[in-house]
Amino acid sequence: MDVTFTQASGLQDSIYGNVQAPIQRFIEERGEEFERTSALELLFLMGSTTNFGDMLSSMTAMDGFDPVGELGEYPTDGMAEGFQKFLPQEVWKNSFSLSREIIEDSKIMDLRQKPAQFTTAYLRTRELFGASMFGAAMNGAKSMQFRGKSFDVSCADKEALFSKAHPSIVDEKFKQSNMFSNAFSKDSLNRVESAMQMLKGDNGEELGISPDTIVIPNDPDLKDEVFSVIGADKNPVNAENSFNYQYGRWNVIIWSYLNRFIKPGQKPWFLADDSYNKLFGGAVWNDRTKLEVRSSVNENNDANIWRGYARYAATFFDWRAFCGGGMAGGDLLKAA
């Protein structure tokens, strides 16, 4: 975990000097432990920036190569500017304090727990922020409320991440869907995967999308269904000996943070193409300032104050990196 620590002048010489290094260690160790179970790195294109905000943009596809024969002239291909979206940075802050009496009395549990809880609160906020984005998207929302502030979670095309009517910048009549109501099953996985593979670019071109990840909330029935479908090399539905081509092909993310954003009775799930997401920015996360922690002493009550400051922002950009199932209001995929 990347953390920058600063201490007030003379703090090492004060009553708090001996506890600064252990507290820093508690903060870093808890951060490293938490990050091992985080889903953010798996679902977002993680980047960094030095700007107040960043303009995310895309280009439409080229037409392709032409046959020109021997000594033929090079044709000039062209691309048009695609959808754009501006991602402004947000400031995040928190603090905790340790009294002089805690230090003097060597209350080890307080010295260990408060820094650990401080780090957990920071990383949990990041995790909840990302889960809240996907939670809003699974409900077809274009914005969300988080800690009393509104955030835009629409894609560059101004639609929700999961939508039945994603437009093309080239042809406004060309609409595509990545939002389906099919409850998870072997048949639904087959159909949603195929629908995602058939998604087109703005020029109607093939994209070669290859979903490799299944994302679900921590729901026991949904977990059982998913692993029953992808965990057997034979047909999981009946006693037939036909080969189950879904076997061994998927990464599964069980994201407990999604649970609080799901409406009762719903069991949404979605597929992701990790390569497409990382290449074209399906979900984008930019860190402007990694966590900075500074330590100082309050002159009024001698408390040791630890303050945390960070700047980061996230958004959805190219919706084609994800395709959802089990979503209320979505299209129903079925046999022709």
Domain range enclosing 320:
4-59+85-325
Tally the domains of the chain: 1
As to burial, measured by CB atoms within 10 angstroms (0-12 exposed, 13-18 middle, 19+ buried), residue 14 is middle
Structure confidence at residue 3 (pLDDT): 82
**Averaged pLDDT for residues 50-71:** 82
Does some domain include residue 192? yes
- What does the pLDDT average to over 192-198? 97
Q: Which long-range contacts (CB under 8 A, 24 or more apart) does 154-159 make?
A: 154/316, 155/83, 155/85, 155/316, 155/317, 155/318, 155/319, 156/56, 156/58, 156/82, 156/83, 156/84, 156/85, 156/317, 156/318, 157/83, 157/319, 159/319
Has residue 73 been placed in a domain? Answer: no
Q: What pLDDT does 303 receive?
A: 85
Give which of 278, 161, 162, 273 is closest to 211, Cα–Cα: 273
Q: Is residue 282 part of a domain?
A: yes
Q: CB of 180 within 8 A of CB of 157?
A: no
Least-confidence region, from 78-87, 182-191, 232-241: 232-241
Half-sphere exposure of 252 (CA within 13 A, CB side): 21
CATH code: domain of residue 211? 3.90.1690
Question: Looking at the predicted structure, is the pLDDT value of residue 240 above 80?
Answer: no
Tokens of 210: 């290859």
17 lies in a domain?
yes
* Rounded to 5°, angle at Cα 169 from 166 and 172: 70
Query: Which tokens sit at 314?
Result: 């996230």
Beta bridge partners of 325: 269
What's 65's DSSP letter?
-
Region label for 147, one of left (φ > 0), alpha (ψ between -120 and 50) or beta (otherwise): left
Phi, psi of 173 (to 5 degrees): -80, -15
Report if residue 68 sits inside a domain.
no
- Is 74 part of any domain? no
With bands split at pLDDT 50, 70 and 90, how would you rate the model's confidence at 68? confident
Tell me if 310 is assigned to some domain.
Answer: yes
Q: What is the mean pLDDT of the chain?
A: 87
The pLDDT confidence band at residue 325, using thresholds 50, 70 and 90, is very high
pTM for this model (two decimals): 0.87
Find residue 272's DSSP bridge partners: 213, 322
19 has a pLDDT exceeding 80: no
Residue 25: helix, strand or coil by DSSP? Answer: helix
Q: pLDDT grade, residue 97 (50/70/90)? A: confident
| H helix runs in the chain, sequence order | 20-35, 40-43, 100-104, 108-138, 186-197, 220-230, 274-280
More confident call, 153 vs 249 = 153
Environment class of 104 (CB within 10 Å of its CB; exposed 0-12, middle 13-18, buried 19+): exposed
Residue 176 lies in a domain: yes
